[in-house]
């Protein structure tokens, strides 16, 4: 650098490794017109340079791309112009526009002067909000029941309890980003313990997908600038005056003095991000979900009164469902107590229905779980899960034909009493190994049937060993055996029924063989016993005898 | 005292019709004269609670009892076309065997409550619902009050409730406990007929009706259920049945 005041920021001789003028000009000529850099970048001095020490504050810091390596994707650069007070300024600029020197917060006239042929459009905040709202509604329907818009540009999705439905948090986030890319948005996703931390990391984090492990919230947000904490502008300027740059600067400071300097709302924001103060997400309500409401003149507390309200609500809901041609698969009844807390009970049905008597019976099973406290004064009944339900053709019933009775109502009643997992049908599985031939299936589905081999009515979940077995090898049923300390003398037997191991499941079953016999003892008891191994090859089994079930 | 035969005096048959109330309820005949003839109404009452327990605390007797109740349920399901609800706290029932006596997988819905109290509540709900054609339940601890409730709801819904009373221990006898069941049965296995070739023939059960309303107890040996749930009387049994009739009434509690 030459001494004597010759230094000037941006001087051409101060730059190093510049390509020659001819190179630059050929590269510029290759670019489309809108992507060509302004005159300033070409080194001409017919217009004012932006102040070298003026920090660009608006928006999050993005690395400024050189005009020569922008990928325009065939889209012309775009900037949105909105009104801030009485001044028109650039409120948003795409990557291409940023590369041309346009940045948010710049006066609109300045931007127009810099790049005259840029695509300037008026900003439409209402349309943006409407689009974001539609996205929130989509999230409520598709991803999580709790999703809400965060003002201006974000979406909160409560993943607790539903991440596994989408293949885990990581996978869900990747799908979310891919979804937004397909829809034409650039998405940044952060998953954290608190809504505040996720809000900060999504906007100021280093990468487009950040997952914070549970409990690591403080460490994750500490390097972020304090702007990330959603502070009021006055608090931000105050913090700058006191030299707080990042969240980490705020963490070790005593709360009392900090509150006096930045204001109490700033402390609340910090605590919300760290999880010390709860910040519930008010979900976007889905207007399409059928909901009915009853407000009571005075609080009720008895089971009979609650039942009456349930019946009234169901009558209202049935009308709503019928008008839309829907049937409820799930119902959620919320009662508002006098003390402001909510009592929530839910029921599910195995088929879509809007039959009031049936739904009322399911809800009545839940009355005992409602704690009325000092009384309930308001009720909502929501059908969060509905399916189309058209009118049913009753012609065959009216003609007097007997129909196969629909078990769905019975299944609902029992499932309401003991839980849905405890009601099932036993369905066949294509396997010859007895313990694998049966599986539990949906009670409303109609399963197939098994091959007609003789099978015991009680099958032991694990076979029990027999002792002192006398049997002729290789294919005779045992003559006597000891089981559970008692000796059984066999008078008749059927068999063997050979079952081979399923080699495609486990290596140990490649050669395994079981020979099953149905035997009867002197008292008429019938047993299902088997021997491991076929009696010739050693690797088919060790010739031990086992009891696997009893016939009647 | 001289017996004066008066033509206007009531005959024994006439007296019997007066003494026994008219059976205005639906019945489920076994289809076996030897059993139906000894049951008061000519078959099991459909809308009633019927109890069965194993003759001894062995697994084979328990299995025979299960099959006996399942065969009754299978015939009822075939007649009325509804599903059978099978409620049990245990999961050792093997469905392919049920299919072989007429209860196909499509005809049975299983419920597995946690304990006997929940099981009784499930039965009562199901009976009141009215969808199943029959209910088979396995329980060990059932009080007199519970059986009376079940009997009342079963009579109201006209649906058979078949209760398998499991033994809780070796010395314990479920039939010694009081119960409001319409009939109480004790089932065990009996040696089957030896075939002339090697093999196992049709199963035989020692069926004992320990108590029935409107009739005497009896016991006899029947052949196990076929693939439609029907029992049969073994050929050549005629000479042996008479001696057991009537005796068990006093043996049962």
Mutation target among B60, B195, B196 for the A interface, most CBs of A within 10 A: B60
A255-262 vs A264-274: helix axis angle to the nearest 10? 120
A437 and chain B in contact, CB less than 8 A: yes
Rounded CA gap, A3 and B70, in Å? 107
Q: Is the dihedral of CA B24, B28, B32, B36 positive or negative?
A: negative
Q: Are A410 and B129 in contact (CB under 8 A)?
A: yes
Chain A nearest-CA residue for B103: A449
Long-range contacts for A43-46 (Cβ within 8 Å, ≥24 apart)?
A43/A12
A527 and chain B in contact, CB less than 8 A: yes
**Mean pLDDT, residues B91-120 taken together:** 92
Mutation target among A487, A524, A548 for the B interface, most CBs of B within 10 A: A524
Q: What does the pLDDT read at residue B170?
A: 74
End-to-end CA distance of chain B: 37
Give A537's DSSP letter: -
Q: Which of A456, A518, A550 sits opposite B200 (nearest CB)?
A: A518
**Which of A94, A124, A123 shows the shortest CA–CA distance to A34?**
A94
Strand spans (E) along A366-466: 376-388, 423-428, 438-441, 458-465
User: Class of A12-122 per CATH?
Assistant: alpha beta
A520 and chain B in contact, CB less than 8 A: yes
Q: Which residues of A touch B194 (CB under 8 A)?
A: 491-492
The interface pTM score, or ipTM, of the predicted complex is 0.83
A303 and chain B in contact, CB less than 8 A: no
Tell me the shortest Cα–Cα distance from B181 to chain A, in angstroms.
23
- Whole-angstrom CA distances from A254 to A196, A260, B58 are 21, 11, 75
Chain B nearest-CA residue for A429: B96
Q: Which residues of A touch B65 (CB under 8 A)?
A: 552
Q: What does the angle CA A455 – CA A459 – CA A462 come to, to the nearest 5 degrees?
A: 135
Q: Is the pTM of this model over 0.95?
A: no
Q: Which residues of B touch A426 (CB under 8 A)?
A: 93, 95, 105, 108, 110
Show pLDDT as tens, one digit a residue, over chain A (552 residues). 555 565 666 666 556 666 677 777 788 778 777 777 666 555 555 555 555 565 444 334 343 433 444 444 556 788 888 888 888 888 888 888 888 888 888 888 888 888 877 888 888 888 989 999 989 888 888 888 888 888 778 888 888 888 888 888 889 999 999 998 898 888 889 999 888 899 999 888 888 888 888 888 888 888 999 888 888 889 999 988 888 888 888 888 888 888 898 889 999 999 998 888 888 888 887 777 889 999 999 999 999 999 999 999 999 999 999 998 899 999 999 999 999 888 999 998 888 888 898 899 899 988 988 998 899 999 999 998 888 888 777 776 777 665 567 788 889 889 988 988 899 999 999 999 999 999 999 888 888 889 988 999 999 999 999 999 998 888 889 999 999 999 999 999 988 899 999 999 988 888 999 999 999 999 889 999 999 988 888 888 889 999 999 998
Rounded CA gap, B46 and B30, in Å? 12
Ramachandran quadrant class, B140 (left: phi over 0; alpha: psi -120 to 50; beta: rest)? alpha
Mutation target among B56, B95, B117, B192 for the A interface, most CBs of A within 10 A: B95
Range 439-458 of A in CB contact (< 8 A) with B: 440, 443, 446-450, 452-458
Choices 3.30.470.30, 1.10.220.70, 3.40.50.300, 3.30.1490.100: CATH for A291-388: 3.30.1490.100
Q: Which residues of A touch B61 (CB under 8 A)?
A: 525
Domain limits of chain A?
A: 12-122, 127-274, 291-388, 458-551
Identify the band that residue B81 occupies on the pLDDT scale cut at 50, 70 and 90: confident
CB within 8 Å: A461 and B92? yes
Chain A nearest-CA residue for B123: A414
Q: Which residues of B touch A449 (CB under 8 A)?
A: 99, 104-106
Range 356-415 of A in CB contact (< 8 A) with B: 402-407, 409-411, 413-414
CB within 8 Å: A409 and B131? yes
Structural domains for chain B: 37-190+200-251 (3.40.50.300)
**Mean pLDDT, residues B131-151 taken together:** 92
Chain A nearest-CA residue for B118: A418
Q: Which of B95, B129, B198 sits opposite A438 (nearest CB)?
A: B95
Beta carbons within 8 Å of A22's beta carbon, 6+ residues apart: none
Which uninterrupted H or E stretch holds A519? Answer: strand A513-521
Q: What does the pLDDT read at residue A72?
A: 47
Beta carbons within 8 Å of A409's beta carbon, 6+ residues apart: A353, A358, B129, B131
Rounded CA gap, A462 and B210, in Å? 35
Q: What does the pLDDT read at residue A479?
A: 92
Per-residue pLDDT tens over the stretch B13-66: 777 766 665 667 888 999 888 899 888 888 899 999 999 999 988 899 999 999
Tell me the shortest Cα–Cα distance from A373 to chain B, in angstroms.
27
CB within 8 Å: A453 and B132? no
Per-residue pLDDT tens over the stretch A397-451: 777 665 567 788 889 889 988 988 899 999 999 999 999 999 999 888 888 889 9
CB within 8 Å: B122 and A550? no
Q: What does the pLDDT read at residue A40?
A: 58
Q: What does the pLDDT read at residue B7?
A: 59
Equal fold, A12-122 vs A291-388: no
Per-residue pLDDT tens over the stretch B222-231: 998 888 889 9
CB within 8 Å: B203 and A551? yes
């Amino acid at each position: 650098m030459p001494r004597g005041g010759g230094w000037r920021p941006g001087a051409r001789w101060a730059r190093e490794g510049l390509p020659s003028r001819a190179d630059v000009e050929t590269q510029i000529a290759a670019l489309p017109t809108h992507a060509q850099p302004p005159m300033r970048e070409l080194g001409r001095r017919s217009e004012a340079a932006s102040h070298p020490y003026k920090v660009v504050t608006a928006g999050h810091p993005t690395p400024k791309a050189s005009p020569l390596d922008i990928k325009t994707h065939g889209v012309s650069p775009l900037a949105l112009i909105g009104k801030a007070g009485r001044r028109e300024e650039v409120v948003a600029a795409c990557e291409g526009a940023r590369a041309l020197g346009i940045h948010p917060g710049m006066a609109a006239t300045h931007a127009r002067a810099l790049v005259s042929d840029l695509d300037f459009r008026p900003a439409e905040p209402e349309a943006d909000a409407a689009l974001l709202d539609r996205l929130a509604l989509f999230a409520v329907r598709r991803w999580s029941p709790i999703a809400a818009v965060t003002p201006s540009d974000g979406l909160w999705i409560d993943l607790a309890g539903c991440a596994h439905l989408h293949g885990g948090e990581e996978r869900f986030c990747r799908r979310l980003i891919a979804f937004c890319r397909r829809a034409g948005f650039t998405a940044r996703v952060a998953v954290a313990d608190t809504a505040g931390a996720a809000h900060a990391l999504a906007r100021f984090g280093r990468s487009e997908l950040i997952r914070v492990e549970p409990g690591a919230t403080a460490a994750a947000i500490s390097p972020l600038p304090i702007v990330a904490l959603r502070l009021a502008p006055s608090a931000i300027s105050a913090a700058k005056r006191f030299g707080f740059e990042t969240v980490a600067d705020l963490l070790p400071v005593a709360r009392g003095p900090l509150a006096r300097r930045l204001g109490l709302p700033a402390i609340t924001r910090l605590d919300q991000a760290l999880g010390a103060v709860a910040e519930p997400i008010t979900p976007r309500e889905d207007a399409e979900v059928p909901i009915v409401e009853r407000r009571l003149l005075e609080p009720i507390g008895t089971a009979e009164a609650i039942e009456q309200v349930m019946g009234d609500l169901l009558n209202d809901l049935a009308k709503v469902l019928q008008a839309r041609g829907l049937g409820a698969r799930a119902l959620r009844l919320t009662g508002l107590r006098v003390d402001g807390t909510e009592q929530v009970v839910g029921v599910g049905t195995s088929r879509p229905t809007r039959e009031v008597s049936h739904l009322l019976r399911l809800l009545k099973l839940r009355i005992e779980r409602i704690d009325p406290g000092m009384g309930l004064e308001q009720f909502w009944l929501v059908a969060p899960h509905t399916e189309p339900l058209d009118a049913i053709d009753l012609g065959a019933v009216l003609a007097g034909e007997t129909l196969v009775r629909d078990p769905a109502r019975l299944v609902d009643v029992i499932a309401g009493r003991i839980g849905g997992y405890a009601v099932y049908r036993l369905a066949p599985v294509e396997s010859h190994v007895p313990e694998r031939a049966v599986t539990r299936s949906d009670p409303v589905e109609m399963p197939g049937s098994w091959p007609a081999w003789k099978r015991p009515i009680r099958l032991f979940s694990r076979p029990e060993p027999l002792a002192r077995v006398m049997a002729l090898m290789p294919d005779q049923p045992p003559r006597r055996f000891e089981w559970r300390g008692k000796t059984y003398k066999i008078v008749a037997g059927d068999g063997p029924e050979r079952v081979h191991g399923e080699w495609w499941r486990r290596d140990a079953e490649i050669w395994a063989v079981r020979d099953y016999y149905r035997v009867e003892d002197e008292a008429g008891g019938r047993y299902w016993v088997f021997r491991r191994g076929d009696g010739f090859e050693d690797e088919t089994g060790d010739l031990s005898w086992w009891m696997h079930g009893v016939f009647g | 005292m001289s017996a004066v035969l008066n033509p206007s005096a009531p005959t024994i048959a006439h007296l019997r019709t007066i003494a026994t109330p008219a059976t205005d309820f639906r019945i489920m005949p076994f289809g076996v004269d030897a059993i139906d003839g000894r049951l008061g109404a000519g078959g099991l009452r459909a809308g009633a609670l019927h109890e069965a327990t194993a003759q001894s605390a062995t697994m084979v007797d328990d299995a025979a009892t299960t099959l006996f109740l399942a065969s009754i349920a299978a015939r009822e399901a075939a007649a009325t076309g509804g599903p059978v609800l099978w409620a049990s706290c245990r999961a050792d029932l093997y469905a392919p065997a049920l299919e072989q006596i007429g209860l196909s997988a499509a005809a049975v819905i299983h419920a597995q409550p946690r304990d006997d109290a929940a099981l009784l509540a499930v039965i009562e709900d199901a009976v009141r619902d009215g969808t199943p054609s029959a209910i088979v339940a396995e329980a060990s601890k059932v009080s007199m009050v519970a059986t009376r409730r079940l009997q009342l709801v079963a009579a109201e819904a006209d649906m058979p409730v078949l209760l398998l009373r499991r033994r809780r221990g070796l010395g314990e006898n479920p039939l010694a406990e009081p119960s409001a069941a319409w009939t109480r049965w004790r089932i065990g296995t009996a040696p089957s007929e030896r075939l002339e070739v090697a093999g196992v023939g049709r199963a035989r059960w020692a069926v004992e009706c320990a108590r029935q309303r409107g009739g005497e107890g009896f016991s006899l040996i029947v052949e196990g259920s076929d693939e439609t749930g029907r029992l049969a009387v073994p050929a050549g049994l005629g000479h042996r049945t008479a001696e057991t009739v009537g005796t068990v009434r006093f043996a049962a509690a």
